[in-house]
Amino acid sequence: MNIKGELIVVIINKGYSDLAMNAARSCGARGGTILNARGTGNDEIEKFFGVPIQPEKELILIVVDKEITENVLMQIYKEAGLETKGQGIAFSIPVDDMIGFQAFEEDLSNLKLENENKIIE
């Protein structure tokens, strides 16, 4: 099975992963995997960003169709970005091949139709 997609990676303060997942779902993402993580931020990074660095993090992995990646990233930033309590950052990585996503493939056409007219304000 050859499905083109994107892996969205979100790094967010512990306890705020719901902010990012709700934002992603509002743009058509189906779900994600949340992992516990620990940041290695230091005083210089804290001074640069102007926000305190919380070492306990959650790492969220979300696979989405390539066509909705930008909307999902923008919505995550809006609802869970650096200027929120979650202080999240997000980026995407291309996924060229996937297997085990039969439901994902079957629903792609439905998700595309639902999200064609969705505009993030």
The pLDDT tens digits of the residues spanning 55-99 come to 889 999 999 988 999 999 999 999 999 899 999 999 999 998 777
What's the chain's average pLDDT? 82
Q: How far apart are the first and last CA of the chain?
A: 35
Say if 112 falls within a structural domain: no
Say if 110 falls within a structural domain: no
Say if 22 falls within a structural domain: no
Say if 2 falls within a structural domain: yes
In whole angstroms, what is the distance from residue 7 CA to residue 11 CA?
A: 13
**Residues 6 or more apart in contact with residue 58 via CB below 8 angstroms:** 11, 12, 13, 14, 15, 16, 17, 34, 35, 36, 37
State the residue range of the domain holding 67.
1-10+30-93
Say if 56 falls within a structural domain: yes
pLDDT digits (tens, 9 = 90+) for 17-58: 999 999 999 999 988 999 999 877 666 666 776 766 678 899
pLDDT number for residue 94 = 94
CA distances from 103 to 6, 34, 38, 71, 98 (A): 16, 20, 33, 21, 12
Domains contained in the chain, number: 1
- Give the dihedral sign, CA 12/15/19/22: positive
pLDDT at 11 over 80: yes
